[in-house]
Amino acid sequence: MFIRKKRTLVVSALLMTLAAGCAQVTPQTRDTRLDTRRRAVASPASLGIYYQGMNGTVGYHMVSEPRANCQPSWNADNPRIVEGYLPPGLKVDGFKIVGTPQLPGRWFVKMRFTGVSCQGTSYSDQDVDVNLNIQGDAPRQIQ
């Protein structure tokens, strides 16, 4: 009889342990951070292209080249304007925005870079917002 009680206690303890272990099991969730990292490496979204020095003065020549968050260098096809206008007197020359602005004001242009690559990694097309702030008065015309 003592053996039977002992066996019953052992079986009951095992069942309670098993039930307690099942109650503590947390549901398996999928770690989406790994998937995001894989996608970011497989298809990088942005190289961080920007134009620096977009403040100018009417009647004074200016040149601005694009830069990117890539060392030592990056490549792309020549950009094109997809939205907005450059101030009169400025133009896109290859990658640079160059010229002598003729009118003051704030100007907005969106440039699109295609065929972008950095250290052997290809990037999707890059749209870059360019804000130009031209100070000064329009030059007087000589009569």
Residue predicted with more confidence, 46 or 36: 46
Distance CA(48)–CA(29), nearest Å, equals 34
- Look up the CATH number of domain 48-135: 2.60.40.10
Domain positions in the chain are 48-135
Q: Which two tokens stand for residue 89?
A: 């007197």
Residue predicted with more confidence, 25 or 119: 119
pTM: 0.63
Distance CA(89)–CA(23), nearest Å, equals 74
**Interval 54-108: pLDDT, tens:** 899 999 999 999 999 888 889 999 999 999 999 999 999 999 999 999 999 999 9
